[in-house]
A = this chain, B = another copy of it.
Amino acid sequence: MGASASIPTCWYNLLADLPFELPPDLPCPSDERPRRVKIPPALIRQELDRRRLIPIPEEVSDRYQQWRPTPLRRARDFERAIGTDCAIYYKYEGGNLSGSHKLTTAVAQAYFYRNAGASCLTVGTGAGQWGTAVAAACGMFGLGCMVYMVRSSYEAKPYRKTMMELLGATVVPSPSDRTVIGRRALATGEVDGTLSLALAEALEDSTDPGTCFATGSGETYTLLHQTVMGLEAAEQLEAIDARVDVIVAALGAGSNLAGLAFPFLGPAFAGARAVRVVSVEPAACPKLTRGRYAYDFTDASGQTPLQKMYTLGHDFAPAAMHAGGLRYHGSAKLIGALRHRGLIDALAVHQTAAFSSAVEFTKAEGILPAPESAHAIRGAVLEAQRADEAGAPQTIVISVSGHGLLDLAAYESYGQGTMVDTTVSSGDIERALANLPDVSGLAGGGVDGS
């Protein structure tokens, strides 16, 4: 069925159809000199652009041909296995070398950074998918690559490291002793690491003129690049005369969810048929379901500009879990604003429930989902049950954003019954939220359009 789609020639820009203004970013309130993120002008323009369609450079779409369009498949056997009357489709992004959707923005970013004169990209990575994607993209465009990988994932998934090194990257576990913030974390006994911390280390390590920090999710341009997912899916659904009612995707910071959903959501804002968008997050990192819509830092350093997002607090440290890519403390500002206005829905699920549905999906569909995607599949099962009970079967499209072939240790732990679920206490969330930055004195503070 993937056969029927072509590779989009443009990215879809939700800002063109957004029925409200986004709250502006605010400057970093820290007294310390803020870390300067060197973003190529082309990417900055993408954050501000109001055109609905932004052309994809030819060198980028040439690279996309290596693995795009990705397949959209009907999960008929999975429908039967869970006994639903809903039609379930899934968009599968795991068929490329990096194993996830992340390669789609990595290739675009490496292209724009190279054009801007960069010689090396530094990245923070959770499960290793972002690091692998950037390592591959840097290889394509002749850039060096330095990866800070959350230590809990680094140890649980040694082969991710091998893969990144194979592609020419240098990989270090975070917290590391290479950076001030890493040494500070190690000194306080924090060993497992978090994605926020890895990001902060990578950012700190980008002071050389040619070395730039690249972010895989969260920034508006990463959401933009991922919209090829939804554009392809729309064409693939149209080719078989199917209409989507519900889109379900896991939420790390937001690029996966946005990539599949925005090309459906935008037209709905502009008057086309409504579509329900469901974000699925781990119960151990419940930003949309239990976080606050507030200004926060985008990493754990406390030295970035502030974005208005759903957040658990930038120093919230979720328990180690298998879906490392979902351990980020906040949401992209676009996702946060949509959630705040009730334009997207959110679910939190436990990882054992997610793996239970993922194993059923594997047996039925012949695809082993990444732990992150397992959460989306679980969310789709809950959506299907809800629709069945209401007597109104829906057409559901899931983002299976990555494969789980390098996560078999997690599946083994599930199979052996040793997987543990963590629920966050309200006290932990309140404590982390107490450290939100004070924005009362900042330019633009309070003028947030909400």
Contacts and interface: CB of A to CB of B under 8 A. Distances in A.
Interface in A280-317: none
Interface string A112-144: 000000000000000000000000100100000
A362 B97 contact: yes
A221 to B, nearest CB: 22
A97 B367 contact: yes
B136 A411 contact: no
A408 B159 contact: yes
23 contacts: A2-B3, A3-B3, A3-B4, A66-B366, A96-B366, A97-B362, A97-B368, A99-B405, A103-B366, A139-B363, A159-B409, A159-B412, A162-B412, A162-B415, A165-B415, A166-B359, A166-B362, A166-B415, A167-B363, A168-B363, A405-B405, A405-B406, A406-B408
Most B Cβ at <10 Å: residue of A2, A97, A99, A167: A97
A95 interface: yes
Contacts of A43: none
Interface centre among A66, A136, A409 (most CB of B within 10 A): A66
A162 B405 contact: no
Chain A binding surface SS class: helix
A110 B389 CA distance: 36
Nearest to A74: B65
A79 to B, nearest CB: 14
A408 B166 CA distance: 9
Interface string A70-91: 0001000000000000000000
A67 interface: yes
Contact of A66 (B4, B168, B365): B365
Nearest to A4: B3
Given A359-B166, A405-B405, A409-B159, A366 B415 contact: no
Interface size of A as a range: 35 or more
A90 to B, nearest CB: 12
A60 interface: no
Nearest to A408: B159
A406 B407 CA distance: 10
Q: This chain: how many copies in the complex?
A: 2
A4 B235 CA distance: 17
B368 A163 contact: yes
Contacts of A2: 3
Given A2-B3, A159-B412, A166-B362, 16 more contacts: A3-B4, A66-B365, A67-B366, A95-B95, A97-B368, A99-B405, A136-B366, A139-B363, A159-B408, A159-B409, A162-B415, A163-B368, A166-B368, A166-B408, A403-B405, A405-B406
Given A3-B3, A167-B362, A405-B406, A411 B97 contact: no
Contacts of A163: 368, 408, 411
A366 B166 contact: no
Interface in A398-424: 403, 405-406, 408-409, 411-412, 415
Interface string A350-362: 0000000001001
A99 to B, nearest CB: 8
A236 to B, nearest CB: 11
A8 B194 CA distance: 49
| Most chain B beta-carbon neighbours within 10 Å: one of A136, A165, A405 | A405
A367 B408 CA distance: 20
